[in-house]
């Protein structure tokens, strides 16, 4: 996994890794090689950053931090994807919150027709990751106002329910597969004549296929990288992200705080939260299977018990 950083971002990266307890060595043509928690980070003088190691979750957390400070994913930048040649009535699904330590997991689905596709384009609908939070809020409002209530579906799992499900399944992709399938099925249940659904590729395509039932089994399912290139998926991404932000804000109001987004720079906040509310409170606000839970708690990962109270 390779990214590129500026001079300013190099310093931010080193500070971040130092706080995470990484050890540093100097190598030829490198500013440093940092190792920690089965993750290796090589920063070259050119600004290239190479991530490696056996801890996939840890690697993803470092990548999330790099992206949060504005670094560029070299592979994504250089890779050109062909257009998605699907037109007419179709369903697009996308998720938000899977890489955020605090807050819910949200999956949204949007059904568009040729007519509503033109209207969505006029609204400036595109991948939510390219839009600011205020724009997402405004465009999400316009999408909901423009579409029939039968043409969009938003499913969300609070952190409490997410942790219960994850402890049973032990696999995020199985949860995502269920969520995407449920959004598709709910949209098809209204009786709309739709034969195609498009989803962003997040793993083996069978995760969604195996979760589909009833009319969902009759639909043609396309799972492609960067599916937000399609307007239906882009609209779903906006609804999902807007819902995530709203739910995270409400969660913060419940605890009289403001929960940070993402999975980088959350450890110190998490430690203070645990100090004030206890370790088990993490089950109500965070996705505790993330590796940073151990950093926050000093090694303990809280488990859902039989008498655990849901939201």
In this structure, the answer to whether residues 231 and 96 fall within a common structural domain is yes
Q: Rounded to whole angstroms, how far apart are CA atoms 67 and 24?
A: 22
Q: Are residues 21 and 144 in the same domain?
A: no
Q: How many whole angstroms separate alpha carbon 151 and alpha carbon 146?
A: 10
In a domain, residue 204? The reply is: yes
**Per-position b or e across 247-269, b if 16+ CB within 10 A of its CB:** bbeebbeeeebebbbebbbbbeb
pLDDT surpassing 60 at residue 152: yes
Give mean pLDDT, residues 117-137.
Answer: 86
pLDDT higher than 50, residue 78? no
53 or 85, higher pLDDT: 53
Q: What is the pTM of this model?
A: 0.74
Round the CA-based radius of gyration of the chain to a whole number and report it. Answer: 20
Phi, psi (deg, nearest 5) at residue 308: -65, 130
* Distance (Å, whole) CA 209 – CA 216: 9
More confident of the two residues 6 and 164: 164
Does pLDDT of 262 surpass 90?
A: no
Average pLDDT, the chain: 88
At residue 298, the 3 state secondary structure works out as: coil
- Which two three-digit tokens encode residue 79? 């890779």
Strand pairing category for 72-73 and 2-4: antiparallel
Residue 187 domain boundaries: 90-250
Q: HSE of 299 in the Cβ direction (CA atoms, 13 Å)?
A: 0
Convert the pLDDT of each residue in 212-244 to its tens digit: 887 667 889 999 888 888 999 999 999 999 999
| Same-domain check for residues 224 and 182 | yes
For position 16, which CATH number holds? 3.30.310.10
Of 38, 58, 78, at which residue does a domain stop?
Answer: 78
């Amino acid at each position: 996994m390779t990214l590129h950083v500026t001079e300013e971002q190099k310093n931010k990266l080193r500070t971040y890794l130092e706080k995470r307890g990484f050890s540093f060595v100097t190598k030829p043509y490198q500013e440093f090689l940092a190792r920690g928690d089965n993750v290796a980070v090589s920063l070259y003088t050119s600004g290239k950053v190479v991530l490696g190691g056996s801890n996939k979750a840890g690697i993803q957390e470092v990548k999330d931090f790099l992206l949060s400070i504005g670094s560029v994913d070299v592979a994504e930048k250089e890779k050109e994807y062909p257009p998605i040649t699907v037109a007419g009535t179709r369903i697009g699904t996308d998720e938000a919150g899977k890489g955020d330590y605090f807050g819910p997991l949200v999956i949204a689905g949007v059904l568009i027709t040729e007519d509503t596709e033109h209207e969505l384009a006029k609204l400036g609908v595109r991948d939510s990751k390219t839009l600011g939070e205020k724009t997402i809020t405004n465009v999400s409002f316009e999408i909901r106002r423009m579409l029939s209530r039968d043409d969009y579906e938003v499913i969300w799992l609070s952190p409490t329910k997410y942790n219960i499900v994850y402890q049973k399944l032990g696999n995020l992709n199985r949860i995502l597969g269920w969520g995407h399938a449920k959004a598709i099925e709910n949209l098809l249940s209204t009786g709309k004549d739709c034969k195609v659904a498009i989803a962003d590729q997040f793993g083996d395509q069978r995760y969604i296929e195996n979760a589909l039932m009833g009319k969902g089994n009759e639909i043609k399912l396309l799972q492609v990288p960067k599916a937000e290139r399609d307007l239906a998926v882009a609209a779903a991404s906006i609804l999902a992200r807007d819902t995530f932000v709203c739910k995270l804000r409400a969660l913060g109001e419940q605890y009289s705080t403001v929960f940070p987004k993402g999975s980088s720079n959350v450890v110190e906040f998490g430690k203070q939260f645990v100090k004030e509310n206890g370790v088990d409170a993490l089950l109500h606000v965070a996705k505790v299977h993330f590796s940073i839970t151990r950093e926050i708690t000093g090694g303990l990962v809280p488990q859902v018990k039989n008498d655990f109270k849901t939201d």
